Structure 1
Amino acid sequence: MIEAAKIWNEPNNKSHWDPNLDPEWDLFARMTILAGQAIRAENSTITRVLGGMSPIDPSFVRRLDERGVLDEVDVVAVHGFPLDWNLWQIHDWPNKIDEIRAVTDKPVWVTEAGVSSFGAEEVQAWGVKRTAELLIGKVPRIHWYSLYDLPSHWEATTRHKEAEGSSYYRHFHMGLLRADGMPKPAVEAFAPYAGQMGICQWFHYEDHRLDDAVAWLKRLGVRHLRTGLSWADSFRPNALDWFDRQMEALADFDVTVTFCFTPEHRGVEPHHTSPPQVAEEFAEFCAAMIRRYGTTRTADSAASMAAVG
């Protein structure tokens, strides 16, 4: 069910990892090493992916390499949003990939690439096509962010919320579909590339969009899907029931699952961006999810388990 396991999300973005608590990423490095080892111990066939950088920064890769992190991952991932947040042009995508390749021999995946429709839906549709032209054949995995817009009554995962101005509100318009499920022009632009360019879609706890999302992904012909299993959510009531439902619904896709988000009561400070008090606890969460969802069963063993059940 799981093709790849991604360790954290955007660790060099302060909306996802608090630099005040870990300014040199020493705690992050240790946590990632432990998680990478735990994932490998559970299933050596699953590709371990370093949480996608945002911004794309070769010095960050070198910093983690010096701390031994790259010994415990198989892929380095990057995220890019040049029409919305980054200080480079969309045409620079190949150069940004080459910057990372210059400092590591690990494969480079683009696990989030996106363009918002905040200014105009036509701009987003053009961005889909241009991104596909620039990245297909350049990297082995591409995930477009995202399938759905964020509902307006939800919060985007950023540090300063509305104080960020239009930068914040762009988060709500990254989908190929509007929040109500209606397609934008970007859907038609994406469809010809769906077999080569996957989707990144985060599902909230007990997300009402799950079944419709699966139907859309299959309709488009998407094969590769990136999503997340939240360590923080694992402490909610009936969390495993939700995780089971989510992963079962996604069973027909090649899934890259991201493990991230610190539970408030297990952080150095009570926030999802905090380093954990005990890094081994995050590693055990990763191992537990791999045990539960990362083992491929043969048809015979699955049938025998069904008979026993």
Structure 2
Amino acid sequence: MIEAAMIWNEPNNKSHWDQEVDPGWVMFADMAKCAGDAIHAVNPKLTRVLGGISPIDPGFMRNMQERGVLDSVDAVAVHGFPLDWNLWKIDEWPSQIEEIRAVTNKPIWVSEVGISTFGAEEVQVWGLNRTAELLIGKAPRIHWYSLYDLPQAWGATTRHREAEGSSYYRHFYMGLLREDGSPKPAAEHFRKHAPQMGLCQWFHYQDHRLDEAVAWMKRMGVTYLRTGLSWADSFRPNALDWFDRQMEALQDFDVTVTFCFTPEHRGIAPHHTSAPQVKEEFAEFCASMIRRYAPASAQVAAA
């Protein structure tokens, strides 16, 4: 069921990693290496992916290479949103990937790409089809972000907030489905690109959309999915029950599970973007989730 473990999410984005706590990503590199080695020790056949970078920055990737992080992963990943947040055009996707290919020989995944309907739903339709033309066959994995619009009441995981004008509000319109579960025009177009294109859908703790999401993905022909298991959520009451329910619901898909979010009480700063006080604690969380959901013996049996 789990085909890959992703170590963190957008580590070079201030909404996901506090660079004031960790200038130069020194602690991030140590944490990522520790986690990659811990995952490998549990299941050496499982693909380890460095968390998708946003922005796409070859300088950051060189930093990770020099600090030895790429020796502890099997692939790297990028995120791109050229019609919403990036300062490059959608037709530049191939050159963006080539910039990263120039600094690493690791496979390059596109673990988040998406187009919001903030301006118009027709823009998402065009952007989806153009993205498929540009990326299918060019990356081992392409995860469209996302299945659902983010509910307005939840708030986006970003530090930009309203200070960035419309940028913040675009977070709420990235789905193929609206918040109420009704399909946008792009949902029908997505069917043409599955299974070559997968989905990225984050599920919040006790997410009420889980079962309906599974039904939609099966109707769309999705075969692979990226989601997350939150280290911070692991300290909630009955966290393992929720993790078990989530992973059982997704058992018919090839899942890339992303490990991220520092528990406030275990961070150097009390925030989910902080480097942890003890890097081994994050590594042990990753290893424990692999032992639970992707032990080596299970992959051998499947093979």
Report whether the alignment pairs 1:188 with 2:188.
Answer: yes
Cα deviation 1:180-199 (Å, max 9, x = unaligned): 00000110111100110000
Deviation at 1:160, TM superposition (A): 3.0
| Structure 1 spans left out of the alignment, 5+ residues | 303-309
Q: Deviation per CA, 1:221-252, whole angstroms, max 9, x where unpaired?
A: 10110000000000000000000000000000
Q: Counterparts of 1:109 and 1:218 in 2: how far apart (Å)?
A: 22
Q: Deviations over 1:101-143 (max 9, x none)?
A: 0000000000000000000000001111000000001111100
Q: Is 1:199 matched up with 2:196?
A: no
Which residue of the partner structure matches residue 38 of structure 1?
38
Task: Using the TM superposition, give the Cα deviation of residue 23 of structure 1 relative to its aligned residue in structure 2, in angstroms.
Answer: 1.3
Instruction: Tell me the distance in 1 between the aligned counterparts of 2:296 and 2:33.
Output: 24
Are 1:22 and 1:28, in contact at CA under 8 Å, matched by a contact in 2? yes
Aligned to 1:280: 280
Question: What do residues 267-308 of structure 1 show as CA deviations (whole Å, max 9, x unaligned)?
Answer: 000000000000000000000000000126669x99xxxxxx
| Deviations, residues 73-118 of structure 1 (Å, cap 9, x unaligned) | 0001000000000000000000000000000000000000000000
Q: Note if 1:247 corresponds to 2:247.
A: yes
- Name 1:22's counterpart in structure 2: 22
Cα deviation 1:13-61 (Å, max 9, x = unaligned): 0000001111100000000000000000000111000000000000100
Tell me how far apart the structure 2 counterparts of residues 80 and 23 of structure 1 sit (CA, whole Å). 24
In structure 2, the residue matched to 1:75 is 75
Unmatched runs of 5 consecutive residues or more in structure 2: none
Cα offset, 1:162, TM superposition: 2.1
Is 1:237 aligned to 2:241, yes or no?
A: no
CA distance in 1, matches of 2:266, 2:162: 27
Tell me the secondary structure at the aligned position of residue 243 of structure 1. helix
Match of 2:94 in 1: 94
> Contact 1:16 / 1:272 at 8 angstroms: preserved in 2?
yes
Question: What's the Cα RMSD here?
Answer: 1.3
* Aligned twin of 1:134: 134
Could you say what secondary structure the match of 2:52 adopts? strand
Query: Residue 96 of structure 1 aligns to a residue in which SS?
Result: helix
Find the residue that maps to 1:56 and give its secondary structure: coil
Q: Which residue number in structure 2 is paired with residue 173 of structure 1?
A: 173
1:307 aligned residue:
none
Matched-pair identity in %: 75
Distance 1:40 1:254 in 2: 19
Q: Is the 8 A contact 2:45 2:296 kept in 1?
A: no
The one-letter code sitting in structure 1 at the alignment partner of 2:39 is: I
The answer to whether the Cα contact below 8 Å between 1:126 and 1:189 also exists between their aligned partners in 2 is no
Distance 1:181 1:144 in 2: 17
Q: SS at 2:241's partner residue? A: helix
- Matched ranges for 1:222-233 at <5 A: 222-233=222-233
AA paired with 2:162?
A: E
Instruction: Please identify runs of 4+ aligned residues in structure 1 that moved more than 4 A.
Output: 296-299
Offset at 1:155?
A: 0.7
SS, match of residue 134 in structure 2? helix
Letter in 1 for 2:105: D
Pairs aligned (count): 301
TM-score calculated relative to the size of structure 1: 0.96
Q: Distance in 2 between matches of 1:79 and 1:25?
A: 19
**TM-score of the two chains, using structure 2 as the length reference:** 0.98
Q: Is the 2:44–2:296 Cα contact (8 Å) retained in structure 1?
A: no
Match of 1:163 in 2: 163
